[in-house]
Structure 1
Amino acid sequence: MDRRQFIAGAAVGAVAAASVSKAALATLPEPVIQTSADTAPPLMPSTGRPYNPVVTLNGWTAPWRMNNGVKEFHLVAEPVEREIAPGMVARLWGYNGQSPGPTIEVVEGDRVRLFVTNRLPESTSIHWHGQRLPNGMDGVVGLNQRAIPVGKTYVYEFIARRPGTFMYHPHADEMVQMAMGMMGFWVTHPRTRHPLINEVQRDFCFLLNAYDIDPGSLVPKINTMLDFNLWTFNSRAFPGIDSMNVRLGDRVRIRVGNLTMTNHPIHLHGHEFEVTGTDGGPTPPGSRWPEVTTDIAVGQMRQVEFIADEEGDWAFHCHKSHHTMNPMGHDVPTMIGIDHRGLVGRIQQLEPEYMMMGERGMADMKDMPMMLPEQTLAMMAGFGPHGPIGMGGMFTTFKVRRDQKPGDYSDPGWYTQPPGTQAFEWQGELPEPARFSAERLNTGEVPGLRRSALEMQVRKPGSGSHSH
């Protein structure tokens, strides 16, 4: 993590709360800038009330300073470069060198002061999504405050009144600013043991976000409404997303916020979980039931909890199939079942690098040695211990190991299944029921098959008839 000191004694452009004393405004806390896309270890609190910190997937927690009992943070809204995955960097807007910005962690009852410096090319603000706070601190431009002008710094101050999982994002030209990646996570930990909040050994968090970036381009198309081509966890697409690594038997919490333009059914393999919290707070025990998939709508937060009691490498992903793919052509025609024999050779006489794709489905693309344009990703990428994984986008792995040490978040590598616990090829006789042959309409696959016996009979209506 590199640290960058802004100009000493920089003047505060405007103050969002009259209650902030002049002494508090004499100097700004140093903004800490992070440019690495790696998952940072948990930031253990060195000042203020103790708590069990979260781990932000491919992100980090913002440090703070204590000033007369107030926890002070400094966020810098600025253009950033974010590596979506190896081979593709996007020019986004974010906070403190990254998109999303750093996670803010506080404790219930903390008085929090946030300095927000605007280094964007236009005015901005920050809305503290889900917080109970004074109306003038809510961050909606024109309604609660004036916009933060370019080059100015505003101050927000309020008490973290309730524990929970929250977000922060602009409420100023948000169609542009959120499409460019301006968002961040906020966690308020309970001050004391809470009857509805369990103690956990692992606590992960990340935001769902999406971009539309043409191959070879750097900047998202901000006017896209639904047809995105990059679906990401914390602005990272698989295989650029880190795994979540836990110890066998750990109680695990995963907090997910959705700031895309559509819902996401998030699915975990190998375990059942309960939804234990939303952006409204912890859920009562009577409202919880076991799930393996929970749908997270736009603007919602969900926190799920479970015991990691099954060892192995388990998939964790959005269950919308196109959301586990990287950039792809949505207008490509479906070629499944079309016989291309003899056609490819003739096309290659005109275009030597031409390859036929899609006549057997798209799975072949995961291991094709295709040349890609600069600044884009393969549609399906990433390799596991048994070959290409064939996924991208909102996909990662949840790794459970009995020998993972408490507090160790490092990647343990690939799991080796015990003998006799992996699917294998059947080597014996394989009788084929007669109906299988009858269902095949391709005479090239089933010689001698009489197609006329299986074809549908269509009767056209007579002249002048409107019957169907």
Structure 2
Amino acid sequence: MFSRRQFIGAGAALAGATVWSKTSAMGLPEAPIMEEAATQPPLMPTAGPDYNPVVTLNGWSLPFRMNNGVKEFHLVAEPVEREMADGMTAYLWGYNGQSPGPTIECVEGDRVRIFVSNKLPEHTTVHWHGLILPNGMDGVAGLTQPPIPSGKTFVYEFDAVKSGTFMYHPHGDEMVQMAMGMMGFFVIHPKDPTFMPVDRDFVFLLSSYDIDPGSYLPKVMEMTDFNMWTINSRIFPDVAPLIVAKDDRVRVRVGNLTMTNHPIHMHGYDFEVTCTDGGWVRSEARWPEVTIDIPVGAMRAYEFDAVHPGDWALHCHKSHHTMNAMGHDVPTFIGADKTNVARKIRAVQPEYMPMGTKGMADMAEMSMPIPDNTIPMMAGWGQFGSLEMGGMFTVVKVREGLEAGDYEDPGDYENPPGTVAYEWTGSLPDAASAPASSAHGSALPSKPKRQMMPGGGTHSGM
């Protein structure tokens, strides 16, 4: 088994006939395995039509080989260990060593052949979510195909007839297999490279899990009470940032395979939704947004021109979705005086720390023991202190002077002098002070006099 990084280290192109010397008649294409949860460089095309490849946050794109004009890929459905964050690993099911699986990229008009080998303990299928293809390739167990038994390999083959952003996931024992992390992106680039061009193109999937602190397996029967809200099965502060050069045209493609919708909000910019999993949005049908709701089982792509340098937050706007290991049965202690009860508890547990009487922000700064294989509810540090975030949160880092293809983290943004919010240590300026007389109403227009009307009524006069 090879990791994609090992391929790069060996100088391989990771695409096209130079990667594999075998043909389908001689055996299956190789099935590269990714061993880490770091964002890998975009997979540049070396065969077929040219395109600008995508960057998968904390993920990678699956290499292919050319065989008589057909692009051949090899997916392996298997149990995986996914590092959700430093100090937390989940035992999931995925593809080619990771969850989500690798992004599959091709070009509109390509003929693709995808070998799917099943190393799970039960049967599976792959449904190509949103793609237009023959019915027998749609991947619904029992309806359009027999399921793929454990230990067997099936072949899917179809033409990429429509460009856009799509997903793949099982359609056999779907409740369990998707809850265990089986999903991935499928990107079909336009045949015309001048159609909808961008300089940087990012993709990630939203997924959620219920994993008790100290345990490793998600609860597959959970429907609503999740505690790990993830971007590509990573949780902040270990979600990779989106690195962007100033003045780049940027596309962000977001897919949602959780059990609820997610309003994805990006700071510092307005943007236009340019694509759904149903197709490209005509220019006259777009409108500006700063938050786009991603429905369950859907994808949205939005675009913006990166004209504002800085470190701009990108996150789900459901506040519990930017928390980690969030318990939902915690009482509210805001305003409570816990002095006496804390003293009594410390008599038997000296390290007890009362929390929540002034809010929960102090949890992000306290250092306390936590169970194995979990992560604090709030985490992440910036140049000004604790970010008090987790879960579905990351940062778009826009910088001047980045070269095309440079995705290295540039560090914290250096704000120009005078552009950072600051503490006022003097009295309020006169312009911001309300006139003293206004407290008594004398600075306001005088009220009209109330006059008696015939019959006992009143009216207002000046």
Alpha-carbon offset, residue 381 of structure 1: 0.6
Q: Is residue 116–residue 155 contact of structure 1 (8 Å, CA) maintained in 2?
A: yes
Q: Which amino acid aligns with 1:293?
A: T
User: What are the within-5 Å matches in structure 2 for residues 101-116 of structure 1?
Assistant: 101-116=101-116
Letter in 1 for 2:148: I
1:344 maps onto 2:342 in alignment: yes
Aligned position for 1:146? 146
Q: What CA distance in whole angstroms lies between the structure 1 residues aligned with 2:38 and 2:354?
A: 37
Structure 1 residue 386, shift from structure 2 partner: 0.8
The superposition leaves residues 102-154 of structure 1 with CA deviations (integer Å, 9 ceiling, x where unpaired) of 00000000000000000000000000000000000000000000000000000
Deviations 1:69-116 (A, max 9, x none): 000000000000000000000000000000000000000000000000
- Residue of 220, 224, 248 corresponding to 1:226: 224
Structure-2 residue corresponding to 1:210: 208
Number of aligned residue pairs: give it: 413
Equivalences for residues 90-239 of structure 1 within 5 A: 90-193=90-193, 197-239=195-237
Counterpart among 416, 419, 425 of residue 418 in structure 1: 416
Cα distance, 1:343 vs. partner?
2.5
2:440 equivalent in structure 1:
none
Query: Helix, strand or coil for the counterpart of 1:158?
Result: strand
How far apart, CA to CA, are the structure 2 residues paired with 1:432 and 1:188?
59
Q: TM-score, with normalisation over the residues of structure 1?
A: 0.86
2:255 maps to what in 1? 257
Structure 2 equivalent of residue 53 of structure 1: 53
1:457 paired residue number:
none
Distance 1:329 1:104 in 2: 36
Give the aligned partner of residue 462 of structure 1.
Answer: none
Q: Partners of 1:228 and 1:89 in 2: how far apart?
A: 16
- Do 2:229 and 2:235's aligned partners in 1 also have CA atoms closer than 8 Å? yes
Shift of 1:346: 1.7
Offset from partner CA, 1:400-445 (integer Å, 9 cap, x none): 0012222211100000111100000010136999xxxxxxxxxxxx
- Counterpart CA distance in 2 for 1:331 and 1:385 is 33
Query: Any runs of at least 4 consecutive aligned residues in structure 1 with deviations exceeding 3 A, and if so which?
Result: 23-26, 430-433
Provide Cα deviations, 1:292-314, integer angstroms capped at 9, x if missing partner.
Answer: 00000100100000001100000
Shift of 1:28: 0.5
Q: State the distance in 2 between where 1:164 and 1:343 align.
A: 59
Which amino acid in structure 1 is aligned with residue 273 of structure 2?
V
Q: Distance in 1 between matches of 2:249 and 2:106?
A: 22
Report 1:61-80 matches (<5 A).
Answer: 61-80=61-80
Match of 1:14 in 2: none
Q: Is the 8 A contact 1:3 1:31 kept in 2?
A: no
SS in 1 for 2:410: coil
The SS at the match of 2:288 is: coil
Any stretches of 5+ residues in structure 1 without a counterpart? Answer: 5-22, 434-468
Asked if 1 retains the 8 angstrom alpha-carbon contact of 2:50 and 2:193, the reply is: no
Q: CA deviation at 1:193?
A: 4.3
- Identity percentage of aligned residues: 64
For 2:359, the aligned partner's letter is: G
1:25 CA displacement: 4.8
AA matched with 1:311: P
SS at match of 1:426: coil
Query: What is the alpha-carbon distance in structure 1 between the residues aligned to residue 25 and residue 317 of structure 2?
Result: 48
Tell me the SS of whatever aligns to 1:33. coil
Which residue of the partner structure matches residue 271 of structure 1?
269
TM-score w.r.t. structure 2 length? 0.88
Secondary structure in 2 aligned to 1:342? helix
